[in-house]
């Protein structure tokens, strides 16, 4: 079965599709390596981590937005919360997200073996 529509109906259908496409919010995020490095920089600049943990041996990425900072046999779970770009009126706009806050969990330690 073939769909045969008059030219005018194709034009109306195409215009409707174009209008619907412009009504959805646009998003433009940076490549993942940039957002990950932004998160590492924000975590490294946070004073709360060495105050709770002491000397930091390493910072590991678990998955998108979740990290763990280790020092000796202790660790801190860190969550990086991002929010989308917003215009002056508060509406979402195209552009990269920004780091809104860092949530640092409690210090957990494993006993020495």
- Residue identified by tokens 């920089």 is 41
In what helix (H) or strand (E) does residue 11 lie, and over which residues does it extend? Answer: helix 7-23
Cross-sheet strand order for the sheet of 58-63: 58-63, 66-71, 74-83, 98-109
- Taking the model in full, what pTM does it have? 0.68
Tens-place pLDDT, residues 23-81? 555 556 778 888 899 999 999 999 999 999 999 999 999 988 999 999 999 999 999 99
Confidence at residue 109, expressed as pLDDT on a 0 to 100 scale: 94
């Amino acid at each position: 079965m073939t769909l045969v529509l008059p030219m005018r109906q194709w034009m109306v259908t195409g215009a409707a599709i174009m209008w619907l496409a412009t009504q959805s919010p646009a998003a433009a995020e940076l490549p993942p390596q940039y957002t990950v490095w932004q998160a590492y920089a924000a975590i490294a600049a946070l004073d709360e981590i060495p105050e709770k943990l002491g000397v930091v041996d390493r910072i590991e990425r678990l998955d998108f937005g979740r990290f763990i900072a280790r020092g000796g046999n202790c660790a801190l779970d860190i969550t990086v919360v991002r929010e989308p770009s917003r215009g002056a009126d508060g509406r979402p706009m195209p552009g990269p997200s920004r780091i809104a806050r860092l949530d640092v969990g409690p210090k957990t330690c494993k006993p020495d073996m």
